[in-house]
Structure 1
């Protein structure tokens, strides 16, 4: 079984709901038209088809309409997802979703708070050949804001994880806007570090130990209260899915608990985690993001894919 995560970069439908980014308001000078929408759907569907995941978490989907249109386009390209879940956050321009080839028993959305400032976390309970696994699709606050905002997301997620039955299998995935070693990378930034060195992804989710050492796969096998970030299965030079000012960041993550490494039921296949990085997803060494003109009047060019690379991992049933 292949599980993946992909930030598709701004998949907006053709309805004017009043919450769109300026460049995605339909039929303005920006040129977000039905034809442009179809191109974006086709490009996004091609990537998802080529990943070939059984379950894929998606970020930056505007609406359930956009998700259904994407699902239909993926089907046209030869990959069928019978099941889906979507979490619409009030006043949010973009949201999180999940497509699955396995039945979704239930889906919940968990508001971080009720201000509308944070995107809801999507939880889908999936039936895999009689066994269940909880998928949590995340899109935490961006680094335009301080770490305290991502801390709030992590605390809400952890609160739900603690409610699950002991050793219940789950997978955390999505765009956490956090590096797998955020506790190292954000320390020197006054803008980010307003939490006295505490990070959501590392300290709250316990992907590091009490001595600030990363949780290893071997540690995970012995411990029921830590989590393992699958980026550590890759060589260091490949541990990035997004570029910021020319520097690689691993903002997208897949994180697993002891239950997926204990030799029972559904198991992570160690060493199977990969970044999906075919040549067509790159432009001059950078992720081939969805393009708009640099000259005025600015407009969509109908080229590119996303500013994030997808990630995936294999699991044994």
Structure 2
């Protein structure tokens, strides 16, 4: 009899506990990053954009450009909608962007215009003119400062050539000038208030693997060190700073540029004061990917957060969970590249050669 009474009491207490948990409400925001892959307009600019003109190699017409914008807008409007009532992401980092104009066109797309996105963008020294940028929903995020921080790297930083280190096929080349500087993308730092809480965002697109992974690795290692310097400069001002660093790193979460350069950790319990947590490392070891090369998948697109985002209480915005957005319509269904991201081809305007990534930030509502 006592056992039956105990069991009954247990289920009553469990039901009450569950009801209380379910009764909690959270303010939720999605933060995303997407490599837009060659988001060029059809206007001849001062950058090396000849390939992406109506009479260029890609035969890049207004019709194709408009379809590309529509495709990107569809993806951006849907990321995080499964668990975020605000629908599309509050913050979107992007790369492979020709200029501010293409972003202004993108945020005016019918699927995005009602979200009223603002744009933070600087022209980078990259010779193809591809830049990084941040889109933000104006009603939720108020920028207070933003700056582009150059990555100064030089040809003599390369590792010695290794014949076994084959060059990867990529549109993204590391351009070199007579002064031996490798002109690549700046790192974009934006500080602002997310529904009243200060957040610092760094948007990255690190040097490519053009010339081979090993030969080009020192460039990305330098990018990782610069990223860490930016993070440390923020921590000096505020030891409890909330920092998000994200981008296409052209390296995996396990590479030296990320593990040593940034010092990112795979598990929350490994993160100490002033540390950085990378949820995409665990996702990689579980077999997930944002891009593929020679049938091998990897996660070059990553979003990492500072220690302040992974505290156990939800009295202010905390990291909840991460994901890769790879719906069936974004995936190649036939041929040699079946299962790869559906990118632009001769007969089809796709989305990107990368899948976007995202995280949720949540805060308990009082």
- What TM-score results when the alignment is normalised by the length of structure 2? 0.73
Aligned-pair distance for 1:55? 0.7
Change (3 A) 1:129 1:21: same
Residue equivalent to 1:122: 188
Change (3 A) 1:174 1:29: closer
Residue equivalent to 1:226: 275
Higher helix share: 2
Aligned-pair distance for 1:78? 5.6
Alignment of 1:41-52 (within 5 A): 41-51=69-79, 52=88
Residue equivalent to 2:16: none
Whether contact under 8 Å (2:291, 2:341) holds in the other structure is no
* Partner Cα distance (1:278, 1:178) in 2: 23
Selected match of 2:297 from 216, 241, 248: 248
Change (3 A) 1:169 1:121: same
Change (3 A) 1:235 1:86: closer
Whether contact under 8 Å (2:254, 2:281) holds in the other structure is no
Alignment of 1:84-233 (within 5 A): 84-93=119-128, 94-101=130-137, 102-113=141-152, 115=181, 117-145=183-211, 146-164=216-234, 165-182=238-255, 199-208=256-265, 215-220=266-271, 223-232=272-281
Secondary structure at the aligned position of 1:234 is classed as: helix
Q: Deviations over 1:199-222 (max 9, x none)?
A: 2111011125xxxxxx411222xx
Residue equivalent to 1:39: 67
* Partner Cα distance (1:36, 1:84) in 2: 23
Change (3 A) 1:91 1:240: closer
Secondary structure at the aligned position of 1:286 is classed as: coil
Change (3 A) 1:90 1:239: same
Whether contact under 8 Å (2:77, 2:111) holds in the other structure is no
Change (3 A) 1:150 1:235: closer
Secondary structure at the aligned position of 2:115 is classed as: coil
Structure 1 runs of 4+ with >3 Å offset: 26-30, 75-79, 232-238
* Partner Cα distance (2:248, 2:284) in 1: 20
Whether contact under 8 Å (2:74, 2:111) holds in the other structure is no
Change (3 A) 1:137 1:36: same
Change (3 A) 1:84 1:150: same
Residue equivalent to 1:60: 96
Q: Deviations over 1:73-114 (max 9, x none)?
A: 1x4556523322112112432111111112222211110128
Q: Deviations over 1:225-271 (max 9, x none)?
A: 331111145373442100011100110011111111123632101xx
- What TM-score results when the alignment is normalised by the length of structure 1? 0.83
Whether contact under 8 Å (2:284, 2:299) holds in the other structure is no
Alignment of 1:8-19 (within 5 A): 8-19=36-47
Q: Which moved more, 1:278-287 or 1:12-21?
A: 12-21
Residue equivalent to 1:291: 344
Q: Which has the larger radius of gyration?
A: 2
List alignment gaps of at least 5 residues for structure 1: 183-198, 209-214, 294-300
* Partner Cα distance (2:247, 2:257) in 1: 14
Aligned-pair distance for 1:292? 2.6
Change (3 A) 1:230 1:247: same
Whether contact under 8 Å (2:133, 2:203) holds in the other structure is yes
Q: Which moved more, 1:279-288 or 1:228-237?
A: 228-237
Residue equivalent to 1:298: none
CA RMSD of aligned residues (A): 2.0
Selected match of 1:72 from 108, 111, 128: 108
* Partner Cα distance (1:150, 1:224) in 2: 25
Selected match of 2:324 from 275, 278, 297: 275
